[in-house]
Structure 1
């Protein structure tokens, strides 16, 4: 029997605009099963105090979560301040791998891969937040493309049944690496290419959910311009 999965990506800008409760309402109303979050704080110096990923997990009812640090600042006598990404999931997260991306001028960036036990079987979620600087982003995008190309074919022995590539790519143009990536992944946002940033008057599409091994049924840019400076992207897939 076919299964449907709702996959979402959302750059939450640390929740500094309206707090984590407003972010959680966007996610909850979308009915997402798995969410890739960017700009997430963990005892960070900006935004709500504490562990934002854990708080959003509790608020949304997506009880499985993992935080993916990109920047860690030690603070004597206090919890280290961390900044990065997170994954929220309705289903257990079995494995997580985190790799650094090339860095020339910008802050550290990470590529994370999580194996999730969905009702249809194991699915793989790749999430990232690429640099906004043109000096760094092409190399990072090329690494992302290379890793996806080298990954086992979905459904093969010891491979996930589906793979989803999600995040804030910070790339408004169909550059060579992005064009090559969407040629090996299904892009349910095409051909409409609805803009996702900035939230109040979006003029570029930089937030993506791509897939392999699953059939895209729907793609929607969420119309909430208050909770963050990005609009969330929700996609529906069939396995």
Structure 2
């Protein structure tokens, strides 16, 4: 099926000159891929790959990723994306589901040196297991960076999300290694959950608008967060106007690690 080409224009922030600051420029994409099902109800992981290839990110955080479930006909979605994009891959399992696994994924142009999954608390009766997939990658010049993809609780009651953000803060504040945390946080910018995260992280996506639902977005649920705040400058950011590949719009940020 022929897909539309995605055109992007990312504008340098006023007063920002890359020549004035030494560092590593990193492009990050965060995308809830709805287990590869597009808004037409079709299973189309190639549509997600098209978005990734068109935007050419260095790191990709993916949520709602199926691995060998019945609903995706036993496909390993991350391996398919890795094959189509040529990137390194890690899958963080949140739970067993429909004959396979369900969780968060990471794609990286940088070699992955370490990978692990952080289980997140889900205590309410209607909650489901959640996690953060985490990798440590080696950047050009041999500096190290942590990158995490997470998907927080979806219920109206924020209790589990608050517990999950507290767990993330506790884990990531243990050392000062630079970190990018990206994902579907299922919380609006003014919520307690987002403000709790911003006590530690800078929100690179702060100026962006709504991301869900993808056809006519009304809620901002998808974020890219940076730690420690002093090590990062935000070059530009964008919510992509992609309305078919998933029920969320992808978020992309270009960042400078100083």
> How does the TM-score come out when normalised to structure 2?
0.81
On the 8 A contact 1:124/1:163 being kept in 2, the answer is yes
On the 8 A contact 2:106/2:133 being kept in 1, the answer is no
- Per-residue CA deviations over 1:166-198 (Å, capped at 9, x if unaligned) read 1110012422332132242221222x3311111
Query: By how many angstroms is 1:48 displaced?
Result: 5.3
Aligned twin of 1:157: none
Q: Report the aligned-residue RMSD.
A: 1.7
Query: SS of the residue aligned with 2:154?
Result: coil
Aligned twin of 1:128: 150
Question: How many residue pairs are counted as aligned between the two chains?
Answer: 224
Of 210, 218, 239, the match for 2:225? 210
Aligned twin of 2:166: 142
CA distance in 1, matches of 2:255, 2:75: 33
Query: SS of the residue aligned with 1:184?
Result: coil
CA distance in 2, matches of 1:48, 1:238: 40
Query: SS of the residue aligned with 1:88?
Result: strand
**Unaligned runs of at least 5 residues, structure 1:** 75-79, 154-159
Q: Which runs of 4+ in 1 moved over 3 A?
A: none
Aligned twin of 1:53: 78
- Per-residue CA deviations over 1:95-136 (Å, capped at 9, x if unaligned) read 112121111231110122210112152100122100101242
**Unaligned runs of at least 5 residues, structure 2:** 1-21
Aligned twin of 1:77: none
Of 171, 193, 218, the match for 1:177? 193
Aligned twin of 2:130: 109
Say yes or no: does 1:3 pair with 2:24: yes
On the 8 A contact 1:34/1:87 being kept in 2, the answer is yes
Query: By how many angstroms is 1:137 displaced?
Result: 1.8
On the 8 A contact 2:105/2:133 being kept in 1, the answer is no
Cα distance, 1:215–1:173 mapped onto 2, change above 3 Å: closer
Query: SS of the residue aligned with 1:136?
Result: helix
Report 1:1-239 matches (<5 A). 2-17=23-38, 18=42, 19-47=44-72, 49-62=74-87, 64-73=88-97, 81-104=100-123, 105=125, 106-120=127-141, 121-133=143-155, 134=157, 135-148=159-172, 150-153=173-176, 160=177, 162-190=178-206, 192-212=207-227, 213-239=231-257
Query: By how many angstroms is 1:46 displaced?
Result: 1.8
On the 8 A contact 1:103/1:109 being kept in 2, the answer is yes
CA distance in 2, matches of 1:173, 1:211: 15
> How does the TM-score come out when normalised to structure 1?
0.87
Query: By how many angstroms is 1:144 displaced?
Result: 1.9
Cα distance, 1:55–1:117 mapped onto 2, change above 3 Å: same
Query: SS of the residue aligned with 2:202?
Result: coil
CA distance in 2, matches of 1:232, 1:59: 18
Query: By how many angstroms is 1:138 displaced?
Result: 2.0
CA distance in 1, matches of 2:56, 2:97: 34
Query: SS of the residue aligned with 1:46?
Result: helix
